[in-house]
């Protein structure tokens, strides 16, 4: 059963963008990525977003499947906290490496989701680690930080806390996995993978997509051979004749006036 872990005021968060929308709205994709990592101890709280309407402010409610034993990492004693931070850093590095094999877009989503507003967003029970809020920076106005502005996970709160490497995972994916097509990337026909992953506007220099068009001839007819035409005409005649006989007998059955060889087909006294 899902339990409420905490609630966040949208006016105090700057959400990070992924694929044209806040990264928190891609929770299902993120969960599928983590499901593909064997025995992972890293998790993200499930967000339920209530967007601002009129004078009513927005809010995100974060849920955990079993949050009874979870508490902020900062509340543990120093000796325990240091050990937990070391384990968290190792787990994050392992998950980032595994997700980097899935493609550039997935690696970027993970890196943006790992950005948290403050150290209080890390919850643990000593065995697993859960992030809430995630995919957001601390700020005012409920703004959205676009992908073009760029956010380096290594320089974020969690990256500095765990001593993550400065080179983003997405950069390594582009070098070592260039041959693998990303299912979330939009690749124009005839464009190489390097162009699809390049800077914005690279697609504008691509040649137009040419579509072959076959010529169409109107007014032509295919003549049938005489035997085939005779058979088709005969079948057509038989069908119409049978239909006419059926219609005649149907009408006669309702009017009760048809006789065959002097015998009444249907007794009028009935």
**Low-confidence spans in the chain with pLDDT less than 70:** 1, 67, 141-143, 146-150, 165-223, 255-270
Handedness of CA 180, 183, 187, 190 (dihedral sign): positive
Which of 177, 45, 20, 33 shows the shortest CA–CA distance to 106? 33
The model's pTM: 0.61
Structure confidence at residue 238 (pLDDT): 94
Q: How far apart are CA 22 and CA 231, in angstroms?
A: 69
**Residue 147 confidence (pLDDT):** 62
| Residue 270 to residue 267: CA distance in whole angstroms | 6
SS3 91: helix
Give the three-state DSSP class for 197: coil
């Amino acid at each position: 059963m899902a339990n409420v872990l905490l609630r966040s005021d949208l006016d105090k968060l700057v959400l990070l963008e992924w694929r044209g929308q806040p990264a928190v709205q891609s929770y299902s994709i993120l969960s599928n990525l983590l499901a593909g990592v064997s025995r992972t101890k890293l998790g993200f709280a499930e967000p339920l977003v209530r967007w601002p309407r009129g004078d009513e402010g927005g809010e995100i409610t974060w849920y955990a499947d079993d949050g009874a034993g979870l508490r902020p990492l900062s509340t543990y004693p120093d000796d325990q906290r240091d050990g937990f931070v070391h384990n968290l850093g190792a787990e994050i590095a392992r998950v980032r490496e595994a997700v980097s094999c899935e493609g550039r877009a997935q690696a970027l989503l993970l890196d943006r989701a790992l950005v948290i507003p403050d150290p209080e967003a890390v919850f643990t029970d000593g065995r697993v680690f859960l992030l809430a809020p995630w995919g957001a920076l601390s700020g005012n106005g409920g703004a959205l930080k676009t992908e073009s502005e760029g956010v380096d996970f290594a320089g974020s709160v969690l990256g500095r806390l765990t001593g993550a490497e400065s080179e983003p995972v997405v950069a390594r994916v582009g070098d070592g996995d260039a041959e693998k097509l990303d299912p979330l990337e939009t690749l124009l026909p005839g464009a190489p993978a390097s162009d699809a992953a390049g800077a914005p506007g690279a697609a504008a220099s691509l040649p137009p997509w040419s579509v072959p068009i076959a010529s169409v001839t109107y007014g032509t007819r295919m003549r049938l051979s005489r035997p085939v035409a005779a058979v088709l005409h005969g079948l057509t005649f038989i069908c119409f004749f049978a239909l006419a006989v059926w219609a005649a007998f149907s009408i006669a059955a309702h009017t009760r006036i048809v006789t065959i060889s002097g015998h009444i087909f249907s007794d009028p006294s009935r």
